[in-house]
Amino acid sequence: MQDTVDPEDCTTMVEVRAGVDAVDRALVGLLARRFGYMEAAARIKPERGHVRDEARKAQVIANARAHARAAGVPEQAVADLWERLVEASIAYELEAFDRR
């Protein structure tokens, strides 16, 4: 994220806000890529019933928790975000499957 100041170097709220906005743009780009993988999954899975996989969902959330712990960010907040992200991804994949 060029043209932004690292968080530890921020001295003004303008810098903080510019950094947050840059991170948000990058996150949306990453989410677009993630949803692209949901499109691929919908194309590859042979049956609609294969879209929801509770074991995989639990694994994805556990992985996010572990990454949060390693990064020193609030684990529960990340787990909550990933719960919503995975559910949104499942809904998106179901829609993609139905469009096939």
Q: Are 68 and 78 in contact (CB under 8 A)?
A: yes
Q: Residue 17, annotated ligand binder?
A: yes
Task: Name all domains of the chain by residue range, CATH numbers in brackets.
Answer: 10-99 (1.20.59.10)
Query: What are the pLDDT digits (tens) for 40-57?
Result: 999 999 999 999 999 999
* Total-model pTM: 0.90
The mean per-residue pLDDT over the stretch 57-85 comes to 98
**How many whole angstroms separate alpha carbon 29 and alpha carbon 35?**
10
Q: Residue 57, annotated ligand binder?
A: no
Q: Residue 99, annotated ligand binder?
A: no
**How many whole angstroms separate alpha carbon 63 and alpha carbon 67?**
6
Query: What are the pLDDT digits (tens) for 15-30?
Result: 999 999 999 999 999 9
